[in-house]
Structure 1
């Protein structure tokens, strides 16, 4: 067994405590008999002495189940043994083991009270047997106090290790939860955007087929079907990348600002990028890409039959700004800004929440809501320098 693990583990939670302690008690009993026969420190035990000496080791089999009762039982056997001036060193291992167990498993207050009681009993017995041996009195008291301090130190060490392990487990659980949330956002953004585009392109194809069968616009139909095919290929590639992340073997770079033109072009929106030569961290670029992707998905889904969407990316005060605006009135005379929030909330409800979480994950902020004069706007500010994220 690892020595460090033995000290770290809670003694009362160890497997087979009675069996292990009974084996240890038998070993201590053999050692006590050997000491009683070989060491000249008091008179050799007689029948009563042997009975008391061996009886003092029996309770040790349950020392982890009931530390304090075991200590009392050991003291009840050892005290008369010492009072009869039998070989004093023989029962010391059993006595020290019982003391250590109480100190290692009990609270500080109980350990202090037990220590005072044991020292008092020990001094009383020593004064009765050898009233003139002051050095022996100090030595015995020192051993008792040292064993109690050692046991209390082990208990504090175990508590410290348990606290560190618990903190590490909580941190690991938090990271797992964050990773799951990130993957959920990726899947939501990817699938929602791709499925929305496929739906729009399929509607175009259906319209071409049924609008005027005699004058079928084959070019428009082929374009819509090719768009569906291309969107499916892109979705499949990104899903494959996400699955590699799940398997802890990611392949391919994260989406970034360089990927925005293709994304915006597929949605028919206008794009303006004003970042110059600024170096955008990968996490910030990925967050900006996903925010634009989700905003375009919502614009296509809720922006009416002919949405006019504009994407503007720039730099303001060491922060990357992302602004996606839809300035088209919805069918029926209502403004998109008045219908988009309702439509978004009527769906899964995770779109705007996911965008806010993405912005917050890199220390930024995001706002989304109706524009003055109609339409809907999503605006995010993502700091380029690392900031402490607050949840």
Structure 2
């Protein structure tokens, strides 16, 4: 039980007892009336855990309380709180059933005690309607919030999946290129074995594995607290150069730190694009260009090769989703080479 509900239950109980003693026009509270009032009100403490049983207990005991002609209106506040709780926490069918039942019973008891429904019943109906409307508003708000939370969890899972794909695809491609070089050197029979180059190639594979293990361990932490990564984008050229492709990094506009989610998205898109060039293209040159606009970062990766990728792989889908997730747009053109352009809003204006 929450401390706030305990305080609410105790406060309502005190209010009911004080109200009962200050209402001289009805039967004054005696020990029996006090016991009924406390028994009908104090269960409010457990309203979140058992909303319907709490409302049911209150209705039964308040009916007995009102039948004995104790001050009627004194138990209205806990009745409204119990009704509000049922409507705000239950599903729509249970809420409607509980609301209708409560309204009918309250009006029936008042009609029996007052020998008919007068103008005063309009006030009762108004308070009950207000509690139901407020409860329904709270229920809808909570439902919307839960839906947004589930959506955020789904998006977080997609971001993690994209980062894992980008990381592993880049590393595995590096290992494959270096392993191919080592295999070629070892199986080459026309020239003496260059042990130094082979050792250097195998060391590169070891370094790639170590780096992948480190990044894999920190991926979740980086997603939750991303740091600027664009200054390190030139490191991505190592894989491309190892495959024998000449790469150039350029930028226009004023280079500056950008919001972390923008930098991470641009870095990962560049990483995946360069990985695709190595894996699927026969290019000899590639260019990575960053254009820092006033409110937009435009990333363009081009090469002079032809691609065997259909454009439907997880990498292309991941790049498109990554750009879209921050309100950006990604396009791919295959005329005179392969061009990937990502327009990423920075939200700085």
Q: TM-score, normalised by structure 2?
A: 0.69
- 2: distance between equivalents of 1:120 and 1:236? 73
Distance 1:93 1:317 in 2: 64
Aligned mates of 2:47, 2:54 — CA distance in 1: 14
- Are 1:257 and 2:234 matched, yes or no? no
Is contact 1:257-1:286 (8 Å) kept?
yes
Partner of 2:31: none
Corresponding residue for 2:217? Answer: 240
Alignment of 1:1-391 (within 5 A): 2=5, 3=8, 6=44, 14-15=52-53, 20=57, 24-25=60-61, 29=64, 32-33=67-68, 89=69, 125=115, 141-212=118-189, 215-244=192-221, 250=225, 253-254=226-227, 256-268=229-241, 269-304=247-282, 307-316=284-293, 318-328=295-305, 336-337=306-307, 339-340=308-309, 342=310, 344-345=311-312, 349-371=313-335, 373=336, 375-385=337-347
RMSD: 4.2
Residues 270-316 of structure 1: CA deviation (Å, up to 9, x unaligned): 22233434443322221111111000110111013x64322122235
User: 1:192–1:147: structure 2 CA closer, same or farther, 3 Å change rule?
Assistant: same
Q: Is the 8 A contact 1:208 1:216 kept in 2?
A: yes
Larger deviation, residues 271-280 vs 226-235: 271-280
Q: Quick one: distance in 1 between partners of 2:83 and 2:200?
A: 82
Q: Secondary structure at the match of 1:321?
A: strand
Paired positions, count: 295
* Aligned 8 A contact 1:119 1:141 in 2: no
- Contact 1:275/1:314 (CA < 8 Å) preserved in 2? yes
User: CA 1:31/1:240 → structure 2, altered by over 3 Å: closer, same or farther?
Assistant: same
Distance 1:255 1:307, change over 3 A: farther
The 8 Å contact of residues 295 and 348 in structure 2, kept in 1 or not, is answered as no
Contact 1:267–1:296 (CA under 8 A) maintained in structure 2: yes
Report deviation, 1:93: 7.5
**Partner SS for 1:14:** helix
1:126-153 deviation per Cα after TM superposition (whole angstroms, max 9, x unaligned): 7xxxxxxxxxxxxx72432222222111
Structure 1 residue 9 displacement after superposition: 6.3
1:221/1:274 CA distance change after superposition, 3 Å: farther
C-alpha distance in structure 2 between counterparts of 1:102 and 1:287, whole Å: 48
TM-score scaled to structure 1, two decimals? 0.62
Higher CA-based Rg: 1
Local SS of the residue matching 2:270: helix
Give 5+ residue unaligned stretches, structure 1: 34-88, 127-139, 329-335
Which consecutive unaligned segments of at least 5 residues does structure 2 have?
Answer: 10-42, 88-94, 242-246
